Amino acid sequence: MEGILVPISLFLGAFAMVFGIRYLSNKEKMAMIERGLNPGVGKSAPKPYLSLKFGLLLVGLGIGLLVALFTVRGLFGSDMTNNEEGQSVAIYFGCLGIFGGLGLITSFVIEKKAIEKDKF
């Protein structure tokens, strides 16, 4: 019985969530129209540095994976015990976080320099 109730409740929950989001979005747009505001003004603003941000994030994640691979191979070699496999997973996630964050910081610095250059 539980095998049938779980998929049904997941489907109903997902449907209710999508319906609720669309309903509240429509109510918000109608309230903006009643006040005389354009409901599409703030939502479609261009984001010129979005591709730079995602590109640098993905490059950082790729470099993090390579560094983690070389670190794990250098520290543990080819034959690892269960304890060493757990440590290698921590190295992978740590390098992904560090290098992904460095990619985002680099993107921020580039955007900040470009914005300061455009001001003057």
Q: CA 80, CA 89: separation in Å to the nearest integer?
A: 12
- Quick check: 66 pLDDT over 90? yes
Could you report the per-residue pLDDT of 21-49, keeping only the tens digit for each? 999 999 999 998 999 888 776 665 667 88
Per-residue confidence band for 67, with pLDDT thresholds at 50, 70 and 90: very high
Q: Is the dihedral of CA 84, 89, 90, 91 positive or negative?
A: positive
Rounded to whole angstroms, what are the CA distances from 100 to 6, 36, 104?
36, 43, 6
Where do the domains of the chain lie? 1-45, 50-119
- Quick check: 80 pLDDT over 70? yes
pTM strictly above 0.75: no
Q: CA 110, CA 104: separation in Å to the nearest integer?
A: 10
Task: Let me know: does 42 contact 65? Beta carbons within 8 Å.
Answer: no
Tokens 């903006």 sit at which residue?
32
